[in-house]
Chain A
Amino acid sequence: MSILSGWVVAIAGTVILIHACEILMPEGEMNRYIKGVLAVICMFVIIQPLPSLLNGDFNFSDLFWGESVPVSEDLGYLDYINAKKAAALSSQMTDEVREKGWGEEAAVEVRAFLGEETFGIEGVTCIGVEPEDQAAVTAFLCEQLGVSSGLIRYG
């Protein structure tokens, strides 16, 4: 805020000089008039920045905002977390499918969207499931994961 500091320094300097003049001034008739002139000078110094302000030259946004730093999230970390979540879901689903007896060697793999902030399931792949059980598995996975059946593939 160089404008403000310049202004304040001007006022301060003016006041000190005026006071010094008043001290050093000899007694006399002209005393009062000189003091009056000095007072008017002081007033002008105080008013000095206002006309430039009123002319609209003033850049307000510069004054207030300065540099703004955007607040962003750590996408690398979010990818890591989403991958972990997908892995956790995969192992849980695999356990559940095996429990239900839909295949001893069945494995479910859940893939999450990468590069997205929120966790979303991109697709599900199942292996080792018998064809006759596939409909049941699809229904089960849809219910558990909340995905539409189109996303589930069998390999």
Chain B
Amino acid sequence: MKKRMSPRRKKIRLLALLLLGVLFLFSGQTAVGEEYNSVEEALEQEVEEQFSALDTELFEEFLAQLDENTRSLYGGLTLEELVGEVLAGQAGNAEEFFDQIFQLLLSRLLAFLPSLISVIMIALLGGLLNGMRARFLGKNTGEIVHFVCYLSIVLIVISVLIPLMNLAGNTVQTLRDLMNLLFPLILTLMTASGGVMSGNLFQPLSAVLSNGVSAVVASVVLPVFMAVTVLSVISNLSENISLEKLIDFFKSAGLWLNGICFTVFFAFLSVQGITAAGYDGISIRAAKYAIGNSIPIVGGYLKEGFDLILGSCVLLKNAIGVCGLLIILSIVILPLLQILLFSLGLKLTAGICEPLADKKIPAFLTMVSKNLSLLIAAVLGVAFMFFITVMLFILSSNAVLA
């Protein structure tokens, strides 16, 4: 509210309000509905205009080259259409989403099934031959047979494993690309809507996230986990040579690095997030009470013009943020569920093989499945950080309209 208002102006305003009140009383719902609609339409139009002024070309290119399955999860729309849907409140049809995921998972499961069944068959064969070892085959031949069985199982498992590991690496890389495209958009809109302090404070945060933390995960943590998987394949080969402790070393190194990255990031985030939201809230209210320079306020209520522009900036920022969240979800969920599915499948196979075969094969399968969960942890961590950051951007600097 204004500090200084001349009495004459006060009386005029009071009269105007009374008049409006009387008019509303007599005109009933329609008048209020109409006024609301005109503001809504003006907002819509404003948002459309502003969106067309944004440089979203790179983003659209990025969306176009996403994997087919991922795109089907959020409807395969361009950013423009997606933003339009979010603003209309119709985005993210949950039923469709889950349906799609279920179907895609089912097809993946059917692809995994032959490998797992072959593993069981070979383990069964090996177990039978083991039984015959003592009488029909010499010791050396028996060992060679066992070696061959083990290696063929290893080959089968690895042929499924390597694409999965590549998938994890690609997912992290895709997330990084998305970050590099999404953050400039959101930061621009944040600055445009008046959240200057937020924009300036959030820039280093997003830089830390996209360049620092995800780079560490992609170039150190993921390779370490892949090395762990490879070593665990080898260590179960021979009874005499066991690389368990070495694997432990790699695992701890990877997990600690992962944990440190996330802790640092979240500490950074909480400090900056709290300060930024506080700054902008206070500075905008200060501008309303005293005379400030950055955001002049004219009139006390929403008029066309300045407040409309600010409001539509904020709306657009939030809409793009929500689109970003949807896309992150679509990118991440399928690979994660795939890896999880294979991990569970391996455990089941290990359980089935245990009574049949020599103890090394189930041990191998169990170890591989445990190490797969490390991959999941790394990718999930990056996706989670990204998610939280985008949510923070959406929720902050909304105080403009307060």
List residues 60-95 of chain A with CB under 8 A from any CB of chain B. Answer: 63-66, 68-74, 76-78, 80-82, 84-85, 88-89, 91-93
**CB < 8 Å: which of B144, B219, B310 contacts A1?**
B219
Contact A81 B237 (CB under 8 A): no
Contacts of A127 in B (CB 8 A): none
Nearest chain A CB to B176's CB is how many angstroms away? 9
Contact B192 A77 (CB under 8 A): yes
Q: A4-B224, A84-B309 are in contact. Are A144 and B231 (CB under 8 A)?
A: no
Would A15 and B237 be within 8 Å (CB), given that A23-B144, A88-B309 are in contact? Answer: yes
Write the nearest CB–CB distance from A134 to chain B, whole angstroms. Answer: 19
Q: B192, B211, B219: which contacts A69 (Cβ < 8 A)?
A: B211
User: Does residue A52 face the partner (Cβ distance < 8 Å to B)?
Assistant: no
Selected from A12, A42, A89, the residue in CB contact (under 8 A) with B296 is A89
Answer yes or no: B227 CB below 8 A from chain A CBs. Answer: yes
Task: Point out the residues of chain A lying under 8 angstroms from B243, CB to CB.
Answer: 11, 15
Chain A residue nearest to B53 (CB atoms) is A80
B196 surroundings in chain A (CB, below 8 A): 117-118
Select one of A11, A76, A144 contacting B298, CB under 8 A.
A144
List residues of chain B with CB within 8 A of the CB of A121: 293, 296
* Chain A 100-155 interface residues, beta-carbon cutoff 8 Å to B: 117-121, 143-147
Chain B interface, DSSP helix/strand/loop, else mixed: helix
- Residues of chain B with a CB closer than 8 A to A145's CB: 296
**Which chain A residues lie closer than 8 Å to B50 at the CB level?**
77, 80-81
Is the CB of B100 closer than 8 A to any CB of chain A? no
Contact B191 A117 (CB under 8 A): yes
B36 within 8 A of A: no
Bound-state CA distance A77–B224 (Å) is 42
Complex Cα distance A104/B185, Å?
Answer: 43
* Chain B residues closer than 8 Å to A76, beta-carbon distance: 53, 55
Complex contact B238–A118 (CB within 8 A): no
Q: Is B203 an interface residue (CB 8 A)?
A: yes
In whole angstroms, what is the CA distance A46 to B242 when docked? 13
CB distance from B25 to the nearest CB of A (A): 26
Given A16, A23, A117, which contacts B234 in the complex, CB threshold below 8 Å?
A16
Q: Are A23 and B140 in contact (CB under 8 A)?
A: yes
Whether B147 lies near A12 (C-beta < 8 A) is no
Interface residues, chain A, with chain B CB atoms under 8 Å away: 1, 4-5, 7-8, 11-12, 15-16, 18-20, 22-24, 35, 39, 42, 46, 63-66, 68-74, 76-78, 80-82, 84-85, 88-89, 91-93, 96, 117-121, 143-147
Of the A-B pairs whose beta carbons lie under 8 Å apart in the complex, a sample of 15, sorted by A's number, is A1-B219, A7-B227, A11-B246, A15-B234, A19-B238, A64-B212, A70-B207, A71-B183, A73-B191, A74-B54, A77-B54, A81-B53, A92-B298, A145-B296, A147-B293
| B interface, CB within 8 angstroms of A | 4, 50, 53-55, 140, 143-144, 147, 180, 183-185, 187-188, 191-192, 194, 196, 199, 203, 206-207, 210-212, 215-216, 218-220, 223-224, 227, 230-231, 233-235, 237-238, 240-241, 243, 246, 287, 291-296, 298-299, 303-306, 308-310, 313
